[in-house]
Structure 1
Amino acid sequence: MSNERPTLGIVVPCYNEEAVIRETITQLSGVLKALMEEGLVSRASFLMFVNDGSRDRTWELIAESQKSNPLVSGLKLSGNVGHQNALLAGLMTAKEHADCVISIDADLQDDVKAIREFVIKYSVEGCEIVYGVRQSRKTDTFFKRTTAQGFYRFMERMGVKVTYNHADYRLMSKRALNELERFKEVNLFLRGIVPMIGFKTGIVFYDRLDRFAGESKYPLPKMLAFAFEGITSLSVRPIRLVTMMGFGLSLVSLAAVIYAVASKLLGNTVSGWTSLILSVWFLGGVQLLSLGLIGEYVGKIYKEVKRRPLYIVETLLMPDTLKQAEVESGPARVRSLNVQP
């Protein structure tokens, strides 16, 4: 890597984070200032908070902070597009002004002190991608720990390559982000897409903290839906499993036919209403499952071929340092945005 201090952008997707956003800005600003004082990052480094259609005062608080805090920038999307799309919007906007970008959630459960190690992995060891990985899950309840571990194992068995105990707390270099931009799929699952990029990677272990305030945006039903979205977006293994199940049931049916014919010839025919009904129900359930799974993939194809935008930016608030860089380097990706002082 270059000996020059890199410009660091920290992207924070926000959805209804009114209860925690002030503390998040305070803590991240403190970390960024410390990195600047230590000479690890450029004075042009910044924080970018992405408002994903929040219904509370999240955006108002971001806008207020941007006026008084020279490190803060804000990106307001025109509506709620979901965590992954909002995160991508922040990454793609921030990379135009930064050498490397760290993504972190607004709830302060990811230890902000680990950011220094991310930067060292990038600057000293030359890692293009650095994953933040939980040290352990000792503080989780038994149910939370079991379901989370099951999530990663199930994803892996379904053919999706993910980093164990890693969410979306990571550093990506500008080069890696440029490659990420080439992935054009509408059905986004960044935890599975980023490992496909390759390049030199590193891992920073940290202890996950309790949520500072507010409620979790990923209860169990949403986590299950998120896992299913990732599996069907990145792997065809579920379809292959259904095909293998169909092949196996065909063999069982063939054996049943041979058994039935042999019983008829030997005069051992016995009425089997219960077994017949159970077989019909079982095969009917398998057929409905298969059709539903195929429909899920067809639906994803439908979304992909329409090529709708993943997000629409309504407002971009930038610090003076970024505005000056914009003037010197050209408007790039923010040419059509509503940029406010």
Structure 2
Amino acid sequence: MDIQEQEGKRSRPVISLVLPCFNEEEVLPETTRRLTALLDRLEADGEIDPASAIFYVDDGSRDGTWGLIAAYSRQNPRVCGIKLSRNRGHQNALLCGLMTAPGEVLISLDADLQDDLEAIPRMVQSYRAGSEIVFAVRSKRETDSPLKKFTAQAYYRMLAFLGVQVIYNHADFRLMSRRTLEVLRDYGETHLFLRGLVHQLGFKTDIVEFERMERFAGESKYPLSKMLSLAWQGVTSFTAYPLRLITGAGVLVSLASLAMAAWAFCLRLFTNEALPGWASTVIPMYFLGGVQLLSLGIIGEYLAKVYESSKNRPRFHVETVCGLPFGKAGVK
């Protein structure tokens, strides 16, 4: 044990920056320049080991993203690349990088430079002070549109209501130690929602706040449809509460139907106001039909997850890698 560890502070770690990429050729030159400068600065300050590197994960890009990554890996000893055989989605690409890249500490972030790079030194300091996981959390949402801000806040409130434990305003910008990554490796879930999984690992955690920037170049690769899909993934992967809501809705509908039947019986028995009409038949029929279809859809979603998980198919395939560290560490 060295002097730093005896004093309660870890020695400078080998860190790997993991960045999933999908059609990011416009922003990669600037991202590489800034990240290289950051690692050089942290090394000069004695915060990280000289073997620290950048790992780009090409998630089946259709532009020149992989060509740039391969070129940078030849020119820059800090740059490494992992190319997936096809597009597998952001969460699977991120998991591939986390499970493949070497290093004592791995930090995941987006390639579009919206994540504040100046939060990384504070994350490393928190790790050296003893934290195993460090979550980078947005301090405010000034760069979001009113619709984006409203939907994001509604999403986190919905997850909390349904019992899903996540860090408010945290996406996938985080630091994880090798110890926690080996625990994460034991999770064999087909449908990934990493911001929920990582929070469940336990261990000593810390939070670092940052301000999210405007995208440096290009367009967002996460349109509304993908964000809604990820939101639904988080709900159905971490809680059975929607199924319990179906049960509650069934009880309420049954009670309402019994009350309506009792009201109709009393109206017919004690008054002359009962008139035949289509509303009393058609409206309940359509209402009950809608509830049944919604219930079947939610149940079907859970059954589909069970079906896809039972096939136990690989979540990704690595087509090729580039960069010096792979020659030492290998690909897992």
- Please give the TM-score of this superposition, normalised by the length of structure 2: 0.94
For structure 2, the 5+ residue unaligned runs are none
Q: CA deviation at 1:105?
A: 0.5
The secondary structure found in structure 1 opposite 2:87 is coil
Q: How does 1:27-46 map to 2 (within 5 A)?
A: 27-46=34-53
**1:69 alignment partner in structure 2:** 76
Q: 1:275 and 2:271 equivalent?
A: no
- Distance in 1 separating the partners of 2:228 and 2:318: 29
Asked if the contact 2:122–2:208 (Cα under 8 Å) also holds between the matched residues in 1, the reply is yes
- Distance in 1 separating the partners of 2:234 and 2:143: 26
Q: 1:263 to 1:3 in 2, by over 3 A?
A: closer
- Distance in 1 separating the partners of 2:269 and 2:175: 71
User: What amino acid is the match of 2:108?
Assistant: S
User: What amino acid is the match of 1:106?
Assistant: A
Q: CA deviation at 1:315?
A: 0.6
**2:155 alignment partner in structure 1:** 151
Q: 1:222 and 2:229 equivalent?
A: no
Asked if the contact 1:44–1:322 (Cα under 8 Å) also holds between the matched residues in 2, the reply is no
Q: CA deviation at 1:198?
A: 0.6
- Distance in 2 separating the partners of 1:109 and 1:139: 10
User: What amino acid is the match of 1:114?
Assistant: A
**1:338 alignment partner in structure 2:** none
The secondary structure found in structure 1 opposite 2:320 is strand
Q: CA deviation at 1:275?
A: 3.3
Q: 1:235 and 2:239 equivalent?
A: yes
Q: CA deviation at 1:256?
A: 1.6
- Distance in 2 separating the partners of 1:267 and 1:150: 48
Q: CA deviation at 1:100?
A: 0.8
Q: 1:290 and 2:295 equivalent?
A: yes
User: What amino acid is the match of 2:46?
Assistant: G
**2:189 alignment partner in structure 1:** 185
**2:254 alignment partner in structure 1:** 250
- Distance in 2 separating the partners of 1:222 and 1:88: 18
Q: CA deviation at 1:112?
A: 0.8
Q: CA deviation at 1:261?
A: 2.2
- Distance in 2 separating the partners of 1:275 and 1:132: 55
- Distance in 1 separating the partners of 2:13 and 2:39: 12
User: What is the RMSD of the two structures over their aligned residues, measured on CA atoms?
Assistant: 1.3
Which is further off, 75-84 or 152-161? 152-161
For structure 1, the 5+ residue unaligned runs are 335-341
- Distance in 2 separating the partners of 1:106 and 1:275: 58
Which is further off, 42-51 or 216-225? 216-225
Residues 52-107 of structure 1: CA deviation (Å, up to 9, x unaligned): 0000000000000000000011000000000000000000011xx21110000000
Choose the corresponding residue for 1:300, options 300, 305, 327: 305
Choose the corresponding residue for 2:319, options 314, 318, 330: 314
User: What amino acid is the match of 2:154?
Assistant: G
The size of the alignment, in residue pairs, is: 324
**Sequence identity of aligned pairs in percent?**
50
- Distance in 2 separating the partners of 1:149 and 1:20: 28
- Distance in 2 separating the partners of 1:210 and 1:138: 10
Which is further off, 221-230 or 62-71? 221-230
Q: CA deviation at 1:24?
A: 0.8
Asked if the contact 2:11–2:128 (Cα under 8 Å) also holds between the matched residues in 1, the reply is no
- Distance in 2 separating the partners of 1:322 and 1:181: 19
